Each structure stands twice: as structure tokens, then as C-alpha cells.
Structure 1
Amino acid sequence: MDPNFKSGSRLERVLRSGRFAVTAELNPPDSADPEDVYKAALVLSEVCDGINAVDASGAHCHMSSVAICALLTRAGYDPIYQVACRDRNRIAIQGDLLGAAAMGVRNVLCITGDDVSVGDQPEAKRVFDLDSIQLLQTAKIMRDESRFLSGRKLSTPPRLFLGAAANPFVQPFDWRPLRLAKKIAAGANFIQTQYCFDVPRLREYMTRVRDLGLHEQAFILVGVGPLRSDKAAEFMRSKVPGVFIPDAIVERLRKTPKGKKRAEGKQICIEIIQQVREIEGVAGVHVMAYRQEELVAEIVQDAGLLPRPRGNDVRIRTRTPVEQP
């Protein structure tokens, strides 16, 4: 991690200041109305340091992530532009990165993307010209070497804080830290993980991450989120790729009275955040609550993560420790 690199993004400033960061997903609307984006962003902006503009997650079509970023930057927010390799080739992706940077986007999360077979239009053609590691390398070349993959020079390179995804919770466990190391070597400055419902597994993963010194090379934000009910938990762990939810959590929700399941799911999320904060090398949390932006604000507040630093309160240090506030 280059201690001198600064994209100008709020998220990077918070992380480099040593503060425990909070990001959240803005779930894209099935709408052409910009107000649908602004309403969700208004709730998240008060409690987050960066807002993820999701790129057709689960291979379902919604408003595009680059369009959401355009709206968010217009309103003065700091978006995290998710770029999936599933739908675009390298020519389109490089053009989108330049366009996003020109609009003021400073954070980019590079992901491979879910296969079309899991979405509601499985007849769509796959692209996958690049994978997530190649995408990171591409963005890093554009940023640091001021050129396209073809070698053609850029007159002005994009200033980007590059991110990648990680999943510590699925097999093979021994391989996951090594995969993370490859993404960091490719250019990842920050990491957002899949949902964490298994804190002991996360602790084992982070032990290996620390052994490899990876927590000193990139900022790791652990994914968390509330469960509406035991049925929702069963659906997620059986239908959503890469999500693992222990039996004990499902059983806890199952034993909760019907009218209190949503509150219990929220409480479980808060407890996980509090445990995650105590793990050395964790730099923040990434809150994912599908179509429940208002619940994100409640979780962040009840977990003791407010107030968020603002303006001049965020000062970048000359070195980049990943430490708790």
C-alpha cells in the first residue's frame, strides 16, 4: 500500500486516518427516476464513509452502477463504483473507468460478477473478457502508468482508490488468504468481504492474513447485514452464491417470536459488528441490507459507530496502520 497515494476520496481519507470505516450498499432501483437513488443515498450518507453502487448483483438487471455514481457525485456523495466483468469487454470497461473518474468517482470495486445462470435472464450472453484480478491490474495500469492496456497513452490518468471482494467463509479455506494476496498484488487498496455470519471462521482467516502481512498492505472491511427471519436466512444460504450462515443463527431466529424476528436479525448484525471490531487487522465494516437502507442507519447507530468523521476531522497519516480508533 503506497502511503503517498491519495485518490481524494472520503473513504480513503477515513481509512488512512486510522478510523474504523463504514460503507454500505445502495441497492439499485428498477426505475428511471433519480429520486429513487437520492432517497436511499440520503439515509446512507449520514452514517457511511462510502456508498457502493451495485453492478447488477446476482445477474439481475437494475439501474446501472455508473449511472448511480453519476447521480451520487452530482449530489456531492462519495460513491464506490462496482465494476463487474460479466457484461463488458476490456474496451468498454476502460472507457467506463475514465468516464467515472471524469464524473468525480474516486473509489472502484473490481469484481468478476455472478454468472448469468443465477439471474432472471439466463439466456444472456456472458462476456468475462477479464476477471477481477485482471480488472484490478487494468485499473492500476491506467492510474499509475497513464496508459490503456493497448499501450496508448492517457493525457490525464484516473485517480482511483481500488477495491476488491473476498470471501473467507467458503472452501477451500486455506486458499482464501492466498487469493487475497493475489488481489492486493494486482492493485487492491481496500477489500470488502462477503457477509460474515461466522465470526470464528473470520478470526481464523484474519490470523492467516496477519501472518502474511496483508492487513498492512490493504484495508479490510468485513461484510455484515441483517436477516429478516429464519426463512430469509435459509433462502440466503441455499440460493445466494458464497453466503454461509451457521445453523445456530438460523435456529436463534427460528425460536424468536414471529413479530420480533426482524429486530432479532438486526441485533445479530450489531453483535457481529461489535465482535468484528475487536479483530486485529479489520479496518471497517461493509453493511448490506437489501432494500432496507433505513435499517442500515439504525444498525450503524446502535453498534456505536456514530458519529462519522466529517470534513477536516479526517486527516491522512504519513503511514498506513490499520488500527481501531
Structure 2
Amino acid sequence: MSFSKKLRSGKFTVTAEISPPKGTDISGMIKEAAMVRGIVDAISVTDNQRSVMRMSPLAACSALSQEGFETIMHLTCRDRNRLALQSELLGAAFLGIKNVLVMSGDHPTKGDHPGAKPVYDLDSVQLLDMISRLNSGVDITGNVLEGKTEFLTGAVSNTELTGAALMKLEKKIKAGASFIITQAVFDSGKFSEFMDKIHDTCGKQTKIIAGIIPLKSEKSAQFLNKNIAGVKVPDDVLRRIKEAGDTEAVAPESVGMEIAADMIKELRDVCDGVHIMPIGTHKNTGKILKMAGI
């Protein structure tokens, strides 16, 4: 069953995030994908995540598709104007890519090319609207296409919804987002409140997929708190990871796996799926999903 059909059927979906290589050798990426073959519904492929230059997600998605994986192509507003975005999307459609995840993209100053000039010709809401137009057979200016696209489009959100953030999320949904992938979730209670806000304001037509980051150490948890906007690792989780590192009775990575599996269990009846974003590798993803009963 395809990712879109499973999502629309109401069944719990699982996706996994992979970054393209920083170079032309795709063997490591294919190896990572092989670790989740048969246990996830789609692989999402990042677009110069955190403004670190890598192979284009279009090329990476094409390579993964040839290996039999369904992909979700990330597409940021940071690096392309509306001409380039539309060209990229038409190319993706031609290559058989069906799913696109839209986001603004981190500013280049955060990455390894801090002197790069950001574009941001469109924002994420405008990009979603543009894809809806391509799906209907016209470009952003209304010119008729020789063959329309058929993308399932998604957007991203953190779970701390202030008034402005909630309003923007509502705009994303109205612009065509069929699914939302959130930043990493470590507090199921607060996530339930987030879900209530979405349902009260935006309805239930858009599927919500919760981000899951299996922690590897206290250092990795502190890094998330300091550097990733919208992510908050609670004190009790930090304490569990720290105690594991201090006692050495249980490896912090094992505790991180337990925390991730427990979170998936708690979220299974709350949202529509989970999105696994490992720190480094997917070597433990299968174990975590098995621990969670997936």
C-alpha cells in the first residue's frame, strides 16, 4: 500500500528520514535505507538540512525509487525562486516522485556555507499553494501545463503553537497540506494539547505525523534543546539519559531507544503516524518500532 493510500485509510503510518550524501557516493544512503526496508511506509529525503550542502533531494529520491523505496522529497524555499521551484517539481513528477514535504528552510548562516545568499522568493504557504496549482494543471501565473502533477503535499510544524504559529499552520492546511510532520516530541501530554488545538482550529482532515528522535546521550539531548527551534527535551528525560551515562549500568543509547518506543506507544492513539529522525543512523529503528509494538 502506498504512503498516500495508507495515510488516507486512517492506518498508523511510519516514515523515516534520511539525508543525501555530501558528495556523489550514494552507497551509504542506500545502506541506511536498507535498514528500514519493509518497516516504514516511506523515506523522507532532506533538502540541505540545517543549511549543510548535500546532494539534491531530487537526485537522491530518484536513486532510492530505483531501489524500490517510496520517498517524500523535502523542498525548501531557501535556495530557489519560483521558476526553479516549479522546474524542480515538474522534474520530480516526471521521475515518479509522488510526495513532497514543504518548509521554509534554515537560514544559510546556520550551515557550512554561511556566505550563501538566501532566496525565500516564496514562503511555505505560497509554495503549498503553487503545488496545488501544478496539481490542477497550471503554473503559478496561470499558464496551462502540458501534463499536470499529482503530488501529495505535506508541511512541518513545531508543537508549541502560539497564536501566530497556529494561524500559519491553518494557512498551510488551507493551501493544500494533506499531512503535517512535527518537530521531535518528548512530552505526550503537551502533544495531546497540540492535537486538540489543531482539531479545534483546523479540523481533522489533515493527518498529523509526530517526529521522533531517539536520543543517544545527554550531549545529544542538550544539543537539541540549544540548537533546534521548537524542540524541548524535558528535564525528566534529560535526567534519565544523564543517569544512564553516569552509572554505566545501562547505555544511554539503550535508554534513548526505550524513551522513543514508549513515546510511540503513547502517541499511537493520538495522531496518525510517527516520523523517525535518528541521530546518525537507522541501525536501531527496527528495534525501536518492535519495542513499540509496530
- Indicate whether the TM-score tops 0.5: yes
* Corresponding residue SS for 2:116: coil
State the alpha-carbon separation in 1 of the partners of residues 86 and 144 from structure 2: 13
The percent of aligned pairs where both chains have the same amino acid is: 35
Shift of 1:213: 4.8
Taking only aligned residues, the RMSD between alpha carbons, in angstroms, comes to 1.5
Shift of 1:303: 1.0
Query: Is 1:177 paired with 2:155?
Result: no
- What letter is aligned with 1:278? D
Corresponding residue for residue 144 of structure 2: 153
Shift of 1:210: 2.0
- Deviation per CA, 1:128-185: give whole Å up to 9, x if none: 11111111000000002x111122211111111010001113xx53444332211110
* Corresponding residue SS for 2:278: coil
State the alpha-carbon separation in 2 of the partners of residues 173 and 273 from structure 1: 25
State the alpha-carbon separation in 1 of the partners of residues 65 and 101 from structure 2: 16
State the alpha-carbon separation in 2 of the partners of residues 297 and 63 from structure 1: 26
Unaligned residue ranges in structure 2 (runs of 5+): none
Corresponding residue for residue 310 of structure 1: none
- What letter is aligned with 2:234? P
- Deviation per CA, 1:232-257: give whole Å up to 9, x if none: 10111112233211111111111113
Shift of 1:120: 2.0
Count of residues in Structure 1 that have an aligned counterpart in Structure 2:
291
Corresponding residue for residue 4 of structure 1: none
Matches within 5 A, 1:232-243: 232-243=220-231
Matches within 5 A, 1:1-325: 10-144=2-136, 146-169=137-160, 173-215=162-204, 217-256=205-244, 257-258=247-248, 260-279=251-270, 282-305=271-294
Is the 8 Å Cα contact of residues 177 and 205 (structure 1) preserved in structure 2? no
- What letter is aligned with 1:245? V
Is the 8 Å Cα contact of residues 170 and 202 (structure 2) preserved in structure 1? no
Is the 8 Å Cα contact of residues 161 and 189 (structure 1) preserved in structure 2? yes
Unaligned residue ranges in structure 1 (runs of 5+): 1-8, 306-325
* Corresponding residue SS for 1:293: coil
- What letter is aligned with 2:104? T
RCO greater where, 1 or 2, for CA within 8 Å and sep 6 or more?
1
